Each structure stands twice: as structure tokens, then as C-alpha cells.
Structure 1
Amino acid sequence: MELRHIAGFVAVAEELHFGRAAARLNMAQPPLSQQIRQLERELGQQLFERSTRTVRLTPAGEAFLEPARRVLADVEVARLAAQAGGRGEVGRVGIAFAGASTHEALPRLTRAVRAAHPGIELHLHGQLYSGEALAKVANGEIDLGFVRLPVRREGVSVRVVAHEQLLLALPADHRLAGSEAVDLRDMADEPFVTLPGTRGSAVRDALVHSCLSAGFTPRIAQEAPDTHTILALVGAGVGVTMTVSSVRHIAFDGVFRPVAGVPPQTLSMALAWRSDNPSAALRAVLAAAEQALPTPPEP
């Protein structure tokens, strides 16, 4: 039993005329009649009562019609699904992100993808610092990651989606909390609260680099796993920290202040993906990201 036999049967059953059914299928009538005879031999049942003037379904033909229609409908669904998958309209894409610093970028991306490609399933993997996200993208565990530049991984492509400034976060009662900007050299004797140094945090690396540029090595009083906890500790007076401008939405008992006394440092956030990733769904997500998160001008 072949699909063309079933399609021919349904056409004849709906037209009740071999000539019209053949025209509908863009074929000649004799091959269509041959297909119906082959199908009847396969089933061991006569499907049509034929005369010189009329064609009627037999009881076997009537019973066969609806299942045959369902078969053709399922084949059409399968065809459309394959085409949609090839265009990247369906599939599954894993996205790695850190947390607070992507609170604006990530929802913009997910909303754009769901609006343009509702058949794409996004799997979000949070609390992955830049180095961790990059490693998982490079080894194929995750399709797409929010990372910080620079990226030095062979076979990984990146596109910048945001530029951010480093800020100091101080407790509300800090002696410099009222300053418009804080000279980083004045922080030499302050305890710092920061992200762990073993998980590839670009913000932690930027903090250390900035302090060294200011002439001192930061004294790390405590580490915490995420920005919300760090700012809570800053508000509690445990220490100060350096963070990025995208986290200014977080409320805590303290203030954010621009950094002075050292050359301004910009941290660029980018999307990273394996250059050889064959996923059509990933390509569709990247296209949606071009609209939702366009590359900003250089600072």
C-alpha cells in the first residue's frame, strides 16, 4: 500500500468520478484506475462499485475513507513539520546566562523568539558565569550563551549586544556614599565582596584588574555566588564591590557610584555560539536576536 494509492482512492471517493479525480491529481485516468485496482488487491476488498455512468463507494470503501483521510492529513503534518524544522521554526535551543546582568537582555530575546518562532523551545540555564557559559558553548552542551569579552575560543563566534560601565557599590552609610564619583585609590583599605574567583567571572576579573591599575591588590573579605547576595552584603556593611551598570535595578541599602582615578573600563556583553553548530533553530534565534538586541555603537 503506497501513499499515492491512498491519495488516489480519496480523490475518487470525494469526486465519485475517475476523470475528475485524475484531473485533480494531475494525472491521466488509466494510471489512476490501475492504482485503485492495485489498492483493492492489496486490501482484498472492492472499494468502488463502477458502472458506465456512476461510481459509488462499497461498504468497505466507506469504512476505508476516513482512516485514509487521516493518513494523508498526518503525512501533511509531517511534511510541514520537516519544512518548519529546516527553516528553524521548531526545535530546541539552550541559552546560558549569568543572572542579574541579563535581566533586560534575556527577556527581550525570549519575547522576540516566542513572537517570531513559537515552535522553538528555549531551555534557559541560569547562574553560569561568563567563563562557564563559554566553556559549555564551546563543548556543545549549550547552543547560545551570554558572555563577556574578550572571547578567545577557537570555533566560537560572538556578537556584542551591550557595553557596560563598571560601578562601585557602597553601603548607604559609607563615608564616600555622597560623592558624585569615587576615586578607586580611596578604596585601597576597604574590604571587598565579590563573585568567586574559580568560576570564570569576568566582573571579578575586571574588579581585580581595576584595583591593580589603581595601585593596590583588593582585599577580598567575602565571596558570594550572585549579584543579589553581594549587594545585600554590601548593604549590610560587610564591604564594597565593583559591578556593572546593568544591575542598577537591584534595590539594596546602598548606592552605586561611578569610578574615578583609573582609566574607565567597559565590559562588553556578547552572545556566543559554536560557529559549526548546524541547528536551524539556533540560526532562527540568532536572527531574532539581531532585532531584539542589536549591536550597539562602540563606546
Structure 2
Amino acid sequence: MEVRWLEAFIAVAEELHFGNAAIRLRMAQSPLSQVIRKLERSLDTELFIRSTRSVDLTPAGHAFLPHARAVLEEIELAQQSVKVPDGVVYGKLILGFTGVLNRRTLPRFTRAVRDTYPQIELSLVGRVMTRDAVAQLEAGTLDLAFVGLPTDSTRTETRLLLRERFGMVVPTGHPLADQDHVELSMFAQDRFITPPIGAGSMLYEDTIRACTEAGFHPIVSQQITDPYMSMMLVAAGVGVAYLPEGVRPVVPPGTVFVPLAGEPVYMNHGLAWSKQRGSAAREAFLELVEDVLAEGL
């Protein structure tokens, strides 16, 4: 098995298109197909399901992908190891996050990593919902991820980072927009903007649970993954949104954040990582998390 075979496999697996993968690798499509065939013969299994219209990974391909990535990463680290002084922490970390919900955590932690460990290459992957983040951590395609807690994974570790009280983001013309506090039950007849039902978002589950406990099932007018775009739709009058107080300083024009009265309900922001043994770079990041939390977010 050759390194270039793994590079070709990863390119096709990520592009799911032989033509695009060939362009990415700066080679013709026919030689690329031959390389993939050689790899499949060496493994004695097919890695891709091919048709005239699409390319997809077989179960064997899905299983092989994280290991192929790990091999190339180890080669890269080996090359880097001869270029940095002893004792310097180096490597690459892939960090998943949702978006505006990580407004207080993402900038603080990424800045701390870059200031403390400049040799760590930090790659950020946005719009990753909690369930998808857990799946990617288990598969090895993410090293760390900001998630909503709790998660139901037995193969990942988590750390609570902060808790934010929930409130409502409403249009400025809403009858309750000028209230100091509101009851969630007051929105029983409003239309809600939520994450998609199948996206694996903890925010979606929090919204449904809170409304159910308030005595109603929310009328969902729009489902969208990006929480900031949800607030933009609120500004457009499409509906209201149940969001944590961390968004309050960044709500778009035409909207207002109104706190909820009564017993506080919190969104629990956490960090998750695989229980599998991690790199020195990941361990350094986790140690840095404790330092940042000690200083306060």
C-alpha cells in the first residue's frame, strides 16, 4: 500500500466525485480510478459504490476512512517532528462548533491555543450539531467539538464549560417585546423557528421539552440549522425563537431578547472528545481548557 493510494482514496471519499477528486489531486481521472482499484485489490474489498450518477462509500470505505486519515496525519507529524525543538507541542486539531451559540466559548479557546501553542494547527468546522459532532468524534473525523449537554454517547468524554439561561428572541413589534420577563406559555399561539427535527441539535430538544413543560407543543413555522439565521427570520416576522441568553448582545436589528420568568432553564455548553487515546496536541488543548475556565469565560 502506498501513501499516494491513501491520498487518492481520501480525496474521492471527501468529494464523492472522481472528476472533482482528480482536479483536487491535479491528475487525470483515469489514473485516479486505477489507483483506487489497486487500493481495493490490496484490501480485497470495494471501498466505493459506483454508478453513472453518483459515488458513495461502502461500509468498508466508511470504516477505512478515519484510519487512512490517521496514517497521513502521522506521516505529516513525523515530518514536522524533525523541524521543531524538543518539548514543543505540535500537531493538528479539528474542532467542530455550531455557530453563534459558541460565541462565548469558541473565540476564547481558539485564541488561547494560538497564543500558548502556536505550533498546533487548529482547523475549525462550523455548523456541526451535537449528534453529528458525537458521530464524527467516534469516527475520528473530529478531535474535539463544542456540544450541548448531556450527550448519550458512551464513547466520548465531555466537560461542562458554561450554562446560559434561556429566553425568547422576538420581533420588535411583538406584543411582548417590551416586557422585562415573559412566561413561555404566553407563546403557545406563536410560530417557532427551530433547528431541523432530524439534525441532532440539542437546542431543538431543549425547545420541544421546554414548550411541553409549559403546557403546549410549539407550532413550527421554519426549521433552519444556523441559530443566527433563525434570528434573522425572527426579524423578518417569520416567528419567534427559544435561545440562550448568550445571543443577547448579537441579536440582529428588528429583534429583541426577552428573558423568561420563573425557575431558570439552562442551556449547558460543553466540550466533547473521544475516549480513545488522543494526541499530545489534544491533551494540551484539554489542559488549556481548565486554565481558561479558572480565569472565567
Give TM-score scaled by structure 2 length.
0.69
Look up the equivalent residue of 1:238 and give its one-letter code. Answer: V
**What is aligned with 1:204?**
204
C-alpha root-mean-square deviation of aligned residues, in Å?
Answer: 2.1
Query: How many residues of Structure 1 are paired with residues of Structure 2 in the alignment?
Result: 217
Q: Distance in 1 between matches of 2:149 and 2:81?
A: 42
Which runs of 5 or more structure 2 residues have no equivalent in the other structure? 1-79
Deviation track 1:15-37 (CA, whole Å, cap 9, x = no partner) reads xxxxxxxxxxxxxxxxxxxxxxx
Letter of the 1:282 counterpart: R
3-state secondary structure, aligned to 1:260: coil
Contact 1:148/1:202 (<8 A) preserved: yes
Structure 1 residues 251 and 268: alpha-carbon distance in aligned structure 2, compared to 1, 3 A threshold? closer
Residue segments in structure 1 that go unaligned for 5+ positions in a row: 1-76
Report what 2:118 is aligned to.
118
Q: Partner of 2:250: helix, strand, or coil?
A: coil
Give a deviation string over 1:201-257, Cα, whole Å, max 9, x none: 111111110110011110001112211211111111111110111111223211111
Map of 2:3 onto structure 1: none
Matching of residues 38-117 of structure 1 within 5 Å: 81=84, 83-84=86-87, 89-117=89-117
Question: Letter of the aligned partner of 2:150 in structure 1?
Answer: P
Equivalent position of 1:222 in the other structure: 222
Tell me, yes or no, if the aligned pair for 2:170 and 2:241 is still in contact at 8 Å.
yes
Do residues 257 (structure 1) and 253 (structure 2) align?
no
Conserved 8 A contact 1:160-1:296: no
State the distance in 2 between where 1:153 and 1:180 align. Answer: 39
Post-superposition offset of 1:82: 7.8
Structure 1 counterpart of 2:116, which letter? A
Map 1:145-224; keep pairs closer than 5 Å.
Answer: 145-224=145-224
Tell me, what secondary structure is at the counterpart of 1:288? Answer: helix
Query: CA offset at residue 150 of structure 1?
Result: 0.8
The runs of 4+ residues in structure 1 deviating greater than 3 Å are: 77-84, 293-297
Larger radius of gyration: 1
* Match of residue 20 from structure 2: none
CA 105–195 in structure 1, closer or farther in 2 if over 3 Å, else same: same
> Residue 162 of structure 1: SS of its match in structure 2?
strand
Give the alignment's TM-score, normalised by structure 1: 0.68
Letter in 2 for 1:145: A
- Residues 227 and 108 of structure 1: CA distance in aligned 2, closer, same or farther (over 3 Å): same
* Separation of aligned partners in 2, 1:278 and 1:233: 40
* 1:161/1:295 contact within 8 Å kept: no
Residues in 1 aligned to 2:216 and 2:295: alpha-carbon distance in whole angstroms: 35
